[in-house]
Amino acid sequence: MNGSNQEDTHRTVERVARESYGRLVAYLSVHTHDLASAEDALSNALVSALSHWPQDGVPQNPEAWLLTAARHSLIDAIRHQKVVLASEPTVQLLKEDFTEAALSKEFPDERLKLLFVCAHPAIDHAMHTPLMLQTVLGLDAARIAQAFLIAPKTMGQRLFRAKTKMRSGGIPFEIPQERDLPKRLDAVLEAIYAAFGIGWGDMAGGDQRGRDLAEEATWLARVLLQLMPGEAEVQGLLALMLHCEARRPARRGPDGRYIPLSEQNPNRWSVPLIEEAERHLTEAFKLGRSGRFQLEAAIQSVHAERAHWPD
Protein backbone atom coordinates (compact mmCIF):
# COMPACT_ATOMS: atom_id res chain seq x y z
CA MET A 1 0.00 0.00 0.00
CA ASN A 2 1.35 3.45 -0.85
CA GLY A 3 2.10 6.05 1.77
CA SER A 4 -1.00 8.12 1.05
CA ASN A 5 -3.38 5.19 1.49
CA GLN A 6 -1.57 4.13 4.65
CA GLU A 7 -1.96 7.61 6.09
CA ASP A 8 -5.67 7.54 5.23
CA THR A 9 -6.03 4.20 7.01
CA HIS A 10 -4.21 5.50 10.06
CA ARG A 11 -6.55 8.49 10.16
CA THR A 12 -9.51 6.13 9.92
CA VAL A 13 -8.22 4.09 12.87
CA GLU A 14 -7.75 7.30 14.86
CA ARG A 15 -11.27 8.48 14.01
CA VAL A 16 -12.87 5.16 14.92
CA ALA A 17 -10.90 5.05 18.16
CA ARG A 18 -11.96 8.59 19.03
CA GLU A 19 -15.62 8.00 18.21
CA SER A 20 -15.99 4.46 19.57
CA TYR A 21 -13.47 4.11 22.40
CA GLY A 22 -15.91 4.81 25.22
CA ARG A 23 -18.67 2.62 23.79
CA LEU A 24 -16.30 -0.30 23.26
CA VAL A 25 -14.53 -0.05 26.62
CA ALA A 26 -17.86 0.23 28.42
CA TYR A 27 -19.32 -2.77 26.60
CA LEU A 28 -16.24 -4.90 27.24
CA SER A 29 -15.75 -3.95 30.89
CA VAL A 30 -19.41 -4.21 31.91
CA HIS A 31 -19.42 -7.78 30.57
CA THR A 32 -16.06 -8.84 32.01
CA HIS A 33 -16.10 -6.72 35.22
CA ASP A 34 -12.50 -5.68 34.56
CA LEU A 35 -11.88 -2.14 33.32
CA ALA A 36 -8.11 -2.41 32.95
CA SER A 37 -8.32 -5.65 30.95
CA ALA A 38 -10.98 -4.12 28.70
CA GLU A 39 -8.72 -1.14 27.96
CA ASP A 40 -5.75 -3.43 27.30
CA ALA A 41 -7.82 -5.59 24.94
CA LEU A 42 -9.08 -2.58 23.02
CA SER A 43 -5.54 -1.20 22.75
CA ASN A 44 -4.42 -4.54 21.28
CA ALA A 45 -7.35 -4.42 18.84
CA LEU A 46 -6.36 -0.93 17.68
CA VAL A 47 -2.76 -2.02 17.16
CA SER A 48 -4.05 -5.00 15.17
CA ALA A 49 -6.19 -2.65 13.07
CA LEU A 50 -3.12 -0.61 12.19
CA SER A 51 -1.49 -3.81 10.92
CA HIS A 52 -4.43 -5.36 9.07
CA TRP A 53 -6.51 -2.51 7.70
CA PRO A 54 -3.76 -1.05 5.45
CA GLN A 55 -3.42 -4.49 3.82
CA ASP A 56 -7.01 -5.79 3.90
CA GLY A 57 -8.88 -2.50 3.67
CA VAL A 58 -11.07 -0.80 6.27
CA PRO A 59 -13.90 -3.18 7.25
CA GLN A 60 -17.49 -2.25 6.52
CA ASN A 61 -18.23 -2.14 10.26
CA PRO A 62 -15.02 -0.98 12.02
CA GLU A 63 -16.60 -1.06 15.50
CA ALA A 64 -17.65 -4.69 15.12
CA TRP A 65 -14.16 -5.58 13.84
CA LEU A 66 -12.54 -3.95 16.87
CA LEU A 67 -15.02 -5.58 19.24
CA THR A 68 -14.27 -9.01 17.80
CA ALA A 69 -10.50 -8.42 17.95
CA ALA A 70 -10.75 -7.19 21.54
CA ARG A 71 -12.83 -10.22 22.46
CA HIS A 72 -10.14 -12.55 21.11
CA SER A 73 -7.51 -10.61 23.04
CA LEU A 74 -9.51 -10.94 26.25
CA ILE A 75 -10.02 -14.68 25.76
CA ASP A 76 -6.31 -15.19 25.13
CA ALA A 77 -5.42 -13.19 28.24
CA ILE A 78 -7.86 -15.14 30.41
CA ARG A 79 -6.63 -18.49 29.15
CA HIS A 80 -3.05 -17.54 29.98
CA GLN A 81 -4.01 -16.97 33.58
CA LYS A 82 -3.44 -19.69 36.16
CA VAL A 83 -7.11 -19.80 37.14
CA VAL A 84 -8.38 -20.99 33.77
CA LEU A 85 -11.21 -23.07 35.15
CA ALA A 86 -12.52 -20.24 37.29
CA SER A 87 -12.43 -17.97 34.26
CA GLU A 88 -14.19 -20.38 31.91
CA PRO A 89 -17.68 -18.87 32.48
CA THR A 90 -16.32 -15.48 31.39
CA VAL A 91 -14.74 -17.05 28.30
CA GLN A 92 -18.06 -18.65 27.40
CA LEU A 93 -19.87 -15.33 27.89
CA LEU A 94 -17.36 -13.61 25.62
CA LYS A 95 -17.87 -16.24 22.95
CA GLU A 96 -21.65 -16.16 22.95
CA ASP A 97 -22.56 -12.57 23.74
CA PHE A 98 -19.87 -10.83 21.75
CA THR A 99 -20.37 -12.93 18.65
CA GLU A 100 -23.99 -11.82 18.44
CA ALA A 101 -23.05 -8.20 19.13
CA ALA A 102 -20.25 -8.14 16.57
CA LEU A 103 -22.53 -9.46 13.85
CA SER A 104 -24.90 -6.56 14.45
CA LYS A 105 -24.18 -3.02 13.32
CA GLU A 106 -25.34 -1.74 16.68
CA PHE A 107 -24.60 -3.11 20.12
CA PRO A 108 -25.80 -1.92 23.53
CA ASP A 109 -24.25 1.32 24.73
CA GLU A 110 -23.14 0.62 28.28
CA ARG A 111 -21.44 3.93 29.02
CA LEU A 112 -23.99 5.09 31.56
CA LYS A 113 -23.49 1.90 33.55
CA LEU A 114 -19.72 2.42 33.51
CA LEU A 115 -20.15 6.00 34.77
CA PHE A 116 -21.82 4.68 37.91
CA VAL A 117 -19.17 1.98 38.32
CA CYS A 118 -16.42 4.63 38.18
CA ALA A 119 -18.26 6.64 40.85
CA HIS A 120 -17.65 3.95 43.49
CA PRO A 121 -17.30 5.65 46.91
CA ALA A 122 -14.04 3.81 47.63
CA ILE A 123 -12.33 5.60 44.73
CA ASP A 124 -10.83 9.00 45.54
CA HIS A 125 -13.66 11.47 44.92
CA ALA A 126 -11.26 13.85 43.18
CA MET A 127 -10.63 11.12 40.58
CA HIS A 128 -14.25 10.29 39.79
CA THR A 129 -14.61 12.82 37.01
CA PRO A 130 -11.15 12.28 35.40
CA LEU A 131 -11.66 8.52 35.51
CA MET A 132 -15.04 8.80 33.81
CA LEU A 133 -13.73 11.23 31.21
CA GLN A 134 -10.98 8.82 30.20
CA THR A 135 -12.73 5.47 30.40
CA VAL A 136 -16.21 6.43 29.23
CA LEU A 137 -15.52 9.28 26.82
CA GLY A 138 -12.04 8.35 25.67
CA LEU A 139 -10.22 11.58 26.58
CA ASP A 140 -6.49 11.25 27.02
CA ALA A 141 -4.68 12.30 30.18
CA ALA A 142 -3.26 15.45 28.56
CA ARG A 143 -6.70 16.76 27.59
CA ILE A 144 -8.13 15.98 31.02
CA ALA A 145 -5.13 17.58 32.72
CA GLN A 146 -5.68 20.76 30.72
CA ALA A 147 -9.26 20.96 31.99
CA PHE A 148 -8.10 20.49 35.60
CA LEU A 149 -5.10 22.81 35.24
CA ILE A 150 -2.49 20.25 36.27
CA ALA A 151 0.47 18.61 34.51
CA PRO A 152 -0.41 15.78 32.09
CA LYS A 153 2.13 13.49 33.74
CA THR A 154 0.53 14.06 37.13
CA MET A 155 -2.95 13.33 35.78
CA GLY A 156 -1.69 10.20 34.04
CA GLN A 157 -0.19 8.91 37.29
CA ARG A 158 -3.40 9.60 39.22
CA LEU A 159 -5.51 7.82 36.63
CA PHE A 160 -3.17 4.83 36.70
CA ARG A 161 -3.39 4.62 40.50
CA ALA A 162 -7.19 4.84 40.39
CA LYS A 163 -7.44 1.99 37.89
CA THR A 164 -4.92 -0.08 39.82
CA LYS A 165 -7.02 0.35 42.94
CA MET A 166 -10.11 -0.79 41.06
CA ARG A 167 -8.33 -3.90 39.86
CA SER A 168 -6.40 -4.98 42.95
CA GLY A 169 -7.67 -2.85 45.81
CA GLY A 170 -10.77 -4.84 46.63
CA ILE A 171 -13.20 -2.48 44.89
CA PRO A 172 -15.92 -4.65 43.35
CA PHE A 173 -16.62 -3.88 39.71
CA GLU A 174 -20.38 -3.94 39.84
CA ILE A 175 -23.27 -1.81 38.66
CA PRO A 176 -24.97 -0.41 41.79
CA GLN A 177 -28.51 -1.35 42.71
CA GLU A 178 -31.22 1.18 41.90
CA ARG A 179 -31.42 2.22 45.55
CA ASP A 180 -27.71 3.10 45.52
CA LEU A 181 -27.75 5.22 42.36
CA PRO A 182 -28.60 8.53 44.11
CA LYS A 183 -25.45 8.21 46.25
CA ARG A 184 -23.30 8.27 43.11
CA LEU A 185 -25.41 10.67 41.09
CA ASP A 186 -23.50 13.86 41.92
CA ALA A 187 -20.24 12.38 40.61
CA VAL A 188 -21.93 11.25 37.39
CA LEU A 189 -23.52 14.67 36.85
CA GLU A 190 -20.16 16.36 37.38
CA ALA A 191 -18.48 14.11 34.82
CA ILE A 192 -21.17 14.65 32.19
CA TYR A 193 -21.02 18.41 32.67
CA ALA A 194 -17.20 18.38 32.59
CA ALA A 195 -17.31 16.53 29.26
CA PHE A 196 -19.82 19.03 27.93
CA GLY A 197 -17.68 21.93 29.14
CA ILE A 198 -14.55 20.58 27.42
CA GLY A 199 -16.50 20.04 24.22
CA TRP A 200 -18.18 23.42 24.44
CA GLY A 201 -14.80 25.13 24.77
CA ASP A 202 -13.47 23.26 21.73
CA MET A 203 -16.53 24.19 19.72
CA ALA A 204 -15.62 27.84 20.05
CA GLY A 205 -12.77 27.06 17.70
CA GLY A 206 -14.76 24.94 15.30
CA ASP A 207 -13.15 21.64 16.36
CA GLN A 208 -15.44 18.77 15.29
CA ARG A 209 -14.12 16.66 18.16
CA GLY A 210 -15.43 19.25 20.60
CA ARG A 211 -18.82 19.26 18.98
CA ASP A 212 -18.95 15.46 19.10
CA LEU A 213 -17.99 15.45 22.79
CA ALA A 214 -20.67 17.98 23.68
CA GLU A 215 -23.25 15.94 21.79
CA GLU A 216 -22.13 12.76 23.58
CA ALA A 217 -22.50 14.49 26.95
CA THR A 218 -25.99 15.69 26.04
CA TRP A 219 -26.93 12.18 24.95
CA LEU A 220 -25.67 10.75 28.26
CA ALA A 221 -27.77 13.30 30.15
CA ARG A 222 -30.85 12.25 28.19
CA VAL A 223 -30.24 8.58 28.96
CA LEU A 224 -29.62 9.41 32.61
CA LEU A 225 -32.96 11.22 32.70
CA GLN A 226 -34.69 8.10 31.41
CA LEU A 227 -33.05 6.13 34.21
CA MET A 228 -33.76 8.67 36.97
CA PRO A 229 -36.70 10.86 35.88
CA GLY A 230 -37.48 11.89 39.44
CA GLU A 231 -34.10 13.57 40.07
CA ALA A 232 -34.39 17.34 39.79
CA GLU A 233 -30.68 17.89 39.17
CA VAL A 234 -30.72 15.57 36.16
CA GLN A 235 -33.47 17.71 34.67
CA GLY A 236 -31.49 20.82 35.62
CA LEU A 237 -28.27 19.61 34.01
CA LEU A 238 -30.00 18.74 30.75
CA ALA A 239 -31.76 22.11 30.73
CA LEU A 240 -28.44 23.89 31.30
CA MET A 241 -26.70 22.09 28.46
CA LEU A 242 -29.60 22.57 26.04
CA HIS A 243 -29.65 26.32 26.73
CA CYS A 244 -25.93 26.45 25.93
CA GLU A 245 -26.36 24.29 22.83
CA ALA A 246 -29.13 26.56 21.59
CA ARG A 247 -26.60 29.39 21.17
CA ARG A 248 -23.98 27.40 19.31
CA PRO A 249 -24.74 28.89 15.84
CA ALA A 250 -24.35 32.43 17.16
CA ARG A 251 -21.02 32.02 18.96
CA ARG A 252 -18.86 32.75 15.92
CA GLY A 253 -19.10 35.29 13.16
CA PRO A 254 -18.44 34.58 9.46
CA ASP A 255 -14.79 35.49 10.03
CA GLY A 256 -14.47 33.04 12.94
CA ARG A 257 -14.40 35.77 15.56
CA TYR A 258 -15.87 34.82 18.93
CA ILE A 259 -19.05 36.75 19.72
CA PRO A 260 -19.82 37.38 23.42
CA LEU A 261 -23.28 36.47 24.66
CA SER A 262 -24.30 40.11 25.00
CA GLU A 263 -23.52 40.74 21.31
CA GLN A 264 -24.99 37.55 19.85
CA ASN A 265 -27.92 37.72 17.45
CA PRO A 266 -30.84 35.96 19.23
CA ASN A 267 -32.37 35.18 15.85
CA ARG A 268 -29.61 32.63 15.37
CA TRP A 269 -30.42 30.79 18.59
CA SER A 270 -32.32 27.51 18.38
CA VAL A 271 -35.82 28.15 19.69
CA PRO A 272 -36.74 24.41 19.81
CA LEU A 273 -33.71 23.70 22.05
CA ILE A 274 -34.58 26.66 24.27
CA GLU A 275 -38.17 25.46 24.59
CA GLU A 276 -37.01 21.93 25.43
CA ALA A 277 -34.64 23.34 28.05
CA GLU A 278 -37.48 25.32 29.59
CA ARG A 279 -39.64 22.20 29.83
CA HIS A 280 -36.92 20.34 31.70
CA LEU A 281 -36.31 23.30 33.99
CA THR A 282 -40.03 23.52 34.79
CA GLU A 283 -40.16 19.82 35.60
CA ALA A 284 -37.13 20.21 37.86
CA PHE A 285 -38.75 23.05 39.83
CA LYS A 286 -41.90 20.95 40.27
CA LEU A 287 -39.85 18.37 42.16
CA GLY A 288 -39.08 20.97 44.83
CA ARG A 289 -35.38 20.15 45.32
CA SER A 290 -33.12 22.98 44.18
CA GLY A 291 -29.50 22.45 43.22
CA ARG A 292 -26.52 23.87 41.42
CA PHE A 293 -27.44 22.79 37.91
CA GLN A 294 -30.99 24.04 38.22
CA LEU A 295 -29.74 27.44 39.38
CA GLU A 296 -27.26 27.67 36.50
CA ALA A 297 -29.98 26.63 34.07
CA ALA A 298 -32.26 29.31 35.50
CA ILE A 299 -29.59 31.94 34.78
CA GLN A 300 -29.34 30.68 31.22
CA SER A 301 -33.13 30.83 31.01
CA VAL A 302 -33.04 34.56 31.76
CA HIS A 303 -30.49 35.09 28.98
CA ALA A 304 -32.69 33.06 26.61
CA GLU A 305 -35.56 35.54 27.04
CA ARG A 306 -33.81 37.65 24.41
CA ALA A 307 -34.93 35.11 21.84
CA HIS A 308 -38.48 36.35 22.41
CA TRP A 309 -37.93 39.87 23.77
CA PRO A 310 -34.70 41.30 22.30
CA ASP A 311 -34.91 44.45 24.42
36 is a domain residue? yes
**Closest residue by Cα to residue 187 from 246, 242, 128:** 128
Helices 35-56 and 152-168 pack at an angle, to 10 degrees, of 120
Q: Per the domain annotation, does 189 fall within a domain?
A: no
Say whether pLDDT at 85 is over 50: no
DSSP code of 60? S
Asked if residue 22 belongs to a domain, the reply is yes
Between CA 294 and CA 240 the distance in angstroms is: 7
pLDDT grade, residue 19 (50/70/90)?
confident
Count of the separate structural domains present in the chain: 1
The contacts of residue 39 (CB under 8 Å, 6+ apart) are 25, 29, 135, 163
The predicted model scores a pTM of: 0.83
State the Cα angle at 181 between 25 and 277, rounded to 5°.
85
44-59 pLDDT per residue, tens: 999 999 888 888 888 8
pLDDT in tens, 141-184: 998 998 899 999 999 999 998 888 887 766 777 888 889 999 99
* Inside any domain, residue 48: yes
For residue range 230-281, what is the model confidence (pLDDT) as tens digits? 999 999 999 999 999 999 989 888 888 889 988 999 999 999 999 999 999 9
Q: What is the pLDDT of residue 156?
A: 93
The domain of 87 spans 3-103
In a domain, 180, yes or no: no
With respect to residue 27, please indicate whether it lies within any of the assigned structural domains.
yes
Determine, yes or no, domain membership for 10: yes
> What is the number of other CB atoms lying within 10 angstroms of the CB of residue 68?
18
| Mean residue pLDDT across the chain | 84
For residue 252, the SS3 value is strand
Confirm whether 59 is domain-assigned. yes
In this structure, how many other beta carbons lie within 10 angstroms of the beta carbon of residue 275? 13
